[in-house]
Every structure is written in C-alpha cells, then in structure tokens.
C-alpha cells in the first residue's frame, strides 16, 4: 500500500475501489513501478467505467426529440376516451409535450401546465440518432437480423413505439426496429 500513499486523494479512492473490486489485478499493479501502476490503474478504471456506462444504459442510442400533431384539428380531452369532455384543440404541426402513451392515448402537458389527453393515432414521433452507429433490426430484440445501420443525427419518424423501449418504423420499405 506504500504506492497508494504517493498518489493524490481521488486516485487513492479509485485504487481502493479497484482493490476491493479485483484484488488479483491490484496485487499485480502493486508489484510494478509507479508509472506502470498508474497506467494500469487508469486502463482498468476506464474499462470498468466504460462497461458500467454501457451496461447501465447511460448512453442512449436515440433520443425522442418531439411529438407532432398530424391531423387538421386534434381534440384535447379531460380523460383518455372519446366520450370525455373536450377541453381544447390542437392544430396540424403543433409540437406536443407527451408525458406518457398507453392504449392509444397520450397524456400531454399543455402550455398552461395542465395535463390532458390526446389520441396518439393523430401524432408522429421524431427521433434523432445520438449513437455513432445504430443497428436497424427486423425484430424488437438484439437477436434479430440487422437490416442496416443508421448514423449519428439521422432522423426516425414513427407513429409506433413498442415495449421495452424499441422503436418501430419503416426502413427501406420494411418494418424495422431500433
């Protein structure tokens, strides 16, 4: 542990974490020189940090940018049924702040801050790809055939989002998922 006393406090905390996370690797690091130890610590830390970031889903592959009304006039309702009282109307092209969509109805927050419901059948979602490369798949799972790839800043427009955060859209004339 003499090596750890010669390292500033943040790195010492990192080394302690690494020691408890993987004692065998830490022992090997301790046997090397200070420079090699620092390089080894940083490489191991970057590997763990990268795995944690991607494993926890901190980076998303696409980000929902906006939901837009796609009909001339869309009724805004108190509750998610066609029998519910109409409390407002939205025009074609209006950008909506969707809080949640379920059973064909989107709960929205209006500019006034009030929450209401609209039929999701008359909206479309626009997503912008944020990953450098995003696989387009034939099914809503990572085992499905890869139909192609999208690149950063590509746009996906869809009216469907399926379970488990997979987005369904049309890709080269086929139903596809990301």
* 166, 142: one domain: yes
* 111, 143: one domain: no
Query: How much of the chain exceeds pLDDT 70, in percent?
Result: 61
Mean pLDDT over all residues of the chain? 76
Last residue of a domain, one of 123, 147, 169: 123
* 109, 87: one domain: yes
Question: Residue 61: inside a domain, yes or no?
Answer: no
64 phi, psi to nearest 5 deg: -70, 120
The Cα 63–Cα 35 span in angstroms is 41
The Cα 120–Cα 73 span in angstroms is 13
Nearest to 18 by CA among 33, 2, 38: 38
CATH code assigned at 73? 2.30.30.40
Give yes or no for residue 59 having a pLDDT over 60. no
pTM: 0.55
The Cα 125–Cα 128 span in angstroms is 10
State the alpha helices, DSSP H only, in the chain: 2-5, 9-21, 23-31, 34-56
The number of domains in the chain is 3
Q: CA of 27: how far to CAs of 19, 117, 169, in Å?
A: 8, 60, 51
The Cα 166–Cα 178 span in angstroms is 6
Q: Which domain holds residue 165?
A: 126-177
Give yes or no for residue 19 having a pLDDT over 90. no
Question: Residue 27: inside a domain, yes or no?
Answer: yes
* 44, 28: one domain: yes
Question: Residue 82: inside a domain, yes or no?
Answer: yes
Give yes or no for residue 1 having a pLDDT over 50. no
* 106, 133: one domain: no
Last residue of a domain, one of 56, 82, 99: 56
Kindly state the average pLDDT of the residues 116-139: 93
């Amino acid at each position: 542990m003499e090596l750890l006393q010669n390292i500033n406090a943040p790195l010492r905390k990192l080394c302690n974490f690494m020691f408890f996370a993987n004692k065998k690797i830490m022992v090997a690091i301790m046997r090397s020189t200070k420079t090699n130890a620092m390089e080894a610590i940083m490489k191991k830390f970057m590997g763990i940090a990268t795995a944690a970031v991607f494993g926890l889903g901190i980076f998303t592959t696409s980000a929902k940018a906006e939901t837009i009304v796609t009909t001339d006039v869309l009724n805004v309702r108190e509750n998610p049924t066609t029998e519910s009282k109409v409390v407002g109307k939205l025009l074609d092209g209006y950008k909506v702040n969707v809080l949640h969509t379920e059973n064909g109805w989107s709960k929205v927050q209006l500019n006034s801050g009030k929450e209401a419901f609209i039929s999701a059948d008359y909206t479309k979602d626009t997503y912008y790809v944020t990953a450098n490369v995003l696989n387009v798949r034939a099914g809503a799972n990572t085992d499905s055939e890869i139909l192609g790839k999208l690149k950063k800043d590509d746009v996906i427009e869809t009216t469907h989002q399926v379970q488990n955060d997979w987005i369904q859209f049309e890709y080269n004339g086929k139903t596809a998922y990301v």
